Structure 1
């Protein structure tokens, strides 16, 4: 078994260790990463001389591996007749994306012809945060207007969904844009092995046998022209069945659970409606299968810290979860009276599919005027 290592807080040129209570949390649906560490000394010692100020930049290391880069949010020293204790709470650099308003005054709060990565970079650069796009730069947004009072994260999260990407914080405090499960751990979680406690959840209460997404176009008089066709022609529908839940129509003798949703985008309506129906089925299916595990180490068999957005094998026969490879959604490194352990939440990759959206609706003519024409083909050869 690999040594988990000590937690070291780097702040103002100091390396502070010896922490007795440790919690460090990271995840693909948690932004920013955060930590809460503390210690108690019966007698004044080295830590009493430490200088820790709220708002100071910091790094959290575990056994030489960087896990959080950000700022001290709170410093809480305490004294009593018999002890001296301190508690330090902090979050990653991406806290500024979440807390602060989007501020693009230099470009009149408007971004033109930018990919998802470029849009995120413009917003993140204000706070000294870089952006890494692991699976391409994403779709081009013809025009984006920042709404006053919304945060940078509000915009980045929507833009990431538009390109079917996840957005989360890396250990260096910078932003990552990625698909789900693009990495793999060297080992996973095995009953009778490294798992101390585990709980599985299988749910169907939020799943349905038929997903029907109705597209209601917004163009002027479009509803009138379709209404002339009568019946369902007035609206365009996309349907996706989930036969693992029941029947896709009533009267079959099997359970019928329909779910109707509205997709009200102007352009790309039918495509978005079909993708939305598939997303509803796949995401709900994925969310209906979860495993929470507590393991006895912060590291896998290769000595690597458990990482969010990495796939890991799960083999828990007693919980009816055997030989599957699921994605680590959230990991918390803990140390205290109960020893060293890690708590992890895992789900199938489809549980993290981003909801398909049109980032900013345009009239079709406006959209065409904002979208660059395809480059000419001087050879005359087919594209």
Structure 2
């Protein structure tokens, strides 16, 4: 392996294991938690077998950089008629317990009371011994709501994070990171003919629309009557056109592709409805042009490992991307017969804006009253 990338080591207990022949390590914005697969054939150098058992705590590093801190999930051994032995070790980050396990709030009547997002998330994560790295502050006030018994801790954390426009993902040290989207920039990017071995882009239009409309469906009977007397179409609507796909109105001679969604609110909140429909348009636009790049190194020009939620310059003129700043959304560090490579997925940052969400249905004026004022957090 080239020295500029560094050896991959798995530390289990007081043992540091290296010499792996095949490696796949994956981390990403929507890949919760990070994971790894390590393979070695024959016997481990100097050992009769790899001293690893499922459930053991472990730390995976590339050089001196920690990538995944968590647990060994599986240990598999296979033999062949030629007498060779293949050992495969797989594991995931510490936040796997948030994803796998039920939300555990015994003694609280499965109820979350009004508090800031960070405090609620810390309480949910603390049950599993997971710390929270709140890089984006304390977040919005979370109204009281009841936890569904079948939900996992991650189900709840994901909703609460989106409520505060947090991007929640696992850090290399096993902590749960609450951050804003695309706050960091890589020292270099991906340039055709320089550090890119392979690249492909998929552009699509089948999931995009020329007009997005979000509709508020009122639940209060008197409100229905009042609006119905004023207009035949009494539901509050917000719209966001995408003229690159077609016309925003029918009958114009251009292709008309409307999509109507129901805004997830129980009380009339025009600002939220508008944000919801604009998010729908931005997300579909961003995800309609994903780029996959295979780079010849695991590191950027400054020697830092490629990391998700990082902005990088993409220069792929053959694919119609001469110069663009896109977001690294997923990274796979690979070692095999093709050598050392990093396989990355990049998209416009709009593809990963947190979805607007209302945790508990109540009047928008109440929501505004609960919004923290500027100044020190209480």
Which interval holds the TM-score relative to the shorter structure?
A: over 0.9
Q: CA deviation at 1:56?
A: 0.5
Partners of 1:79 and 1:257 lie apart in 2 by: 57
Partners of 1:339 and 1:268 lie apart in 2 by: 57
Q: CA deviation at 1:176?
A: 1.0
Paired residues of 1:217 and 1:269 also in contact (CA < 8 A)? no
Tell me the residue number matched to 2:152. Answer: 151
Paired residues of 2:264 and 2:358 also in contact (CA < 8 A)? no
- The list of structure 1 runs, each at least 4 consecutive aligned residues, that deviate by more than 6 angstroms after superposition, is 372-375
Paired residues of 1:44 and 1:84 also in contact (CA < 8 A)? no
Find the residue that maps to 1:48 and give its secondary structure.
coil
Find the residue that maps to 2:230 and give its secondary structure.
coil
Q: What is the root-mean-square deviation of aligned Cα atoms in Å?
A: 2.1
Question: Residues 129 and 26 from structure 1, CA distance in 2 versus in 1: closer, same or farther, beyond 3 angstroms?
Answer: same
Paired residues of 2:19 and 2:45 also in contact (CA < 8 A)? no
Tell me the residue number matched to 2:170. Answer: 169
Tell me the residue number matched to 2:293. Answer: 293
Partners of 1:11 and 1:160 lie apart in 2 by: 32
TM-score normalised by length of structure 2: 0.93
Structure 1: which 5+ residue stretches go unaligned?
376-383
Partners of 2:226 and 2:192 lie apart in 1 by: 61
Tell me the residue number matched to 1:75. Answer: 75
TM-score normalised by length of structure 1: 0.92
Tell me the residue number matched to 1:62. Answer: 62
Paired residues of 2:140 and 2:371 also in contact (CA < 8 A)? no
Residue 59 (structure 2) pairs with residue 52 (structure 1) = no
Residue 228 (structure 2) pairs with residue 237 (structure 1) = no
Tell me the residue number matched to 2:123. Answer: 122
Q: CA deviation at 1:132?
A: 1.7
Tell me the residue number matched to 2:102. Answer: 101
Question: Residues 175 and 337 from structure 1, CA distance in 2 versus in 1: closer, same or farther, beyond 3 angstroms?
Answer: same
Paired residues of 1:60 and 1:67 also in contact (CA < 8 A)? yes
Question: Residues 18 and 318 from structure 1, CA distance in 2 versus in 1: closer, same or farther, beyond 3 angstroms?
Answer: same
Residue 193 (structure 2) pairs with residue 192 (structure 1) = yes
Tell me the residue number matched to 2:361. Answer: 361
Paired residues of 1:218 and 1:264 also in contact (CA < 8 A)? no
Q: Which segment drifts farther, 290-299 or 217-226?
A: 217-226
Find the residue that maps to 2:97 and give its secondary structure.
helix
Partners of 1:12 and 1:18 lie apart in 2 by: 18
Q: CA deviation at 1:55?
A: 0.2
Q: CA deviation at 1:283?
A: 0.9
Measured against aligned partners, the alpha-carbon deviations of 1:285-304 in whole angstroms (never above 9, x if no partner) come to 11111110111110001110
Q: CA deviation at 1:212?
A: 1.0
1:264-279 pair list within 5 angstroms:
264-267=264-267, 269-279=269-279
Partners of 1:138 and 1:226 lie apart in 2 by: 35
Tell me the residue number matched to 1:334. Answer: 334
Partners of 1:159 and 1:128 lie apart in 2 by: 19
Q: Which segment drifts farther, 78-87 or 8-17?
A: 78-87
Q: Which segment drifts farther, 306-315 or 243-252?
A: 243-252
Partners of 1:21 and 1:321 lie apart in 2 by: 32
Structure 2: which 5+ residue stretches go unaligned?
none
Find the residue that maps to 1:58 and give its secondary structure.
strand
Measured against aligned partners, the alpha-carbon deviations of 1:269-328 in whole angstroms (never above 9, x if no partner) come to 322211111111111111111110111110001110000000000000000012101000
Partners of 2:317 and 2:349 lie apart in 1 by: 20
Q: CA deviation at 1:167?
A: 1.1
Find the residue that maps to 1:192 and give its secondary structure.
coil
Paired residues of 2:264 and 2:357 also in contact (CA < 8 A)? no
Tell me the residue number matched to 2:215. Answer: 214
Q: CA deviation at 1:268?
A: 5.4
Paired residues of 1:182 and 1:309 also in contact (CA < 8 A)? yes
Tell me the residue number matched to 1:33. Answer: 34
